[in-house]
Amino acid sequence: MSIFGNNIFGNKATHAVADPAADSHGTGGEDGRTAPAVQKSDAQWREELTPEEYRVLRQAGTERPYTGEYWDTHTAGVYQCRACGTELFTSNEKFDSHCGWPSFWAPLAEGTVRYIHDRTMGMDRVEVRCGACDSHLGHVFDGEGYGTPTDQRYCINSVSLRLVPKDGAEPADGATAG
Ligand SMILES: [Zn+2]
């Protein structure tokens, strides 16, 4: 049941990052990829997301470490996809990795995220995307010795997530999120 079976690392993944030039009228869903449940044109995403959200979610960017909203957050709650609102992670699986990004040892459920073998930047990594809208979330690493139940680290950009605190939970450690 490990996601690190043949289907992830053995997979000659198609690298399907959105074409930044495809900014004209949305013709969504004609490119033959498995269609995500939430489909919007590039122009729509640009309109709905802030520039930083767009850069990370739709162009597979990475926020600078220790700058994101949630890297040091311990608030109980559910983390949704910032782009489409699908529930992706919970505070139960969040742990302190001290890597500068929110880190989880598992997603909320199987199938909520999808994996893409990422060989860009001279590295060999597994990219994590939202299973519903195909937005970039971060990467997942395996076998680093963090001592969590799975020994996996879902290293996720804060800007890809939105924390919905559980009823009665203190909001974001007293930080005033901007
Ligand atoms: Zn999404």
Q: How far is the CA of 167 from the centre of ligand 1 (A)?
A: 23
Q: How far is the CA of 152 from the centre of ligand 1 (A)?
A: 21
Q: Which domains does the chain have, with CATH numbers?
A: 36-166 (2.170.150.20)
- Average pLDDT of the residues of the chain: 84
Q: Residue 150's pLDDT is what? A: 97
pTM for the predicted model, two decimal places: 0.77
The average pLDDT across 147-162 equals: 97
Instruction: For residue 21, name the pLDDT band (cuts at 50, 70, 90).
Output: very low
Q: Residue 170's pLDDT is what? A: 65
Q: Active site residue: 81, 84, 130, 155, which one?
A: 155
Residue 141 has pLDDT above 90, yes or no: yes
Q: How far is the CA of 83 from the centre of ligand 1 (A)?
A: 5
Is-catalytic flag, 155?
Answer: yes
Q: How far is the CA of 130 from the centre of ligand 1 (A)?
A: 5
Instruction: For residue 171, name the pLDDT band (cuts at 50, 70, 90).
Output: low
Q: Residue 29's pLDDT is what? A: 39
Q: What is the 3-state secondary structure (H, E, C) of the chain?
A: CCCCCHHHHCCCCCCCCCCCCCCCCCCCCCCCCCCCCCCCCHHHHHHHCCHHHHHHHHCCCCCCCCCCCCCCCCCCEEEEECCCCCEEEEHHHEECCCCCCCEECCCCCCCCEEEEEECHHHCCEEEEEECCCCCEEEEEEECCCCCCCCCEEEEECHHHEEEEECCCCCCHHHCCCC
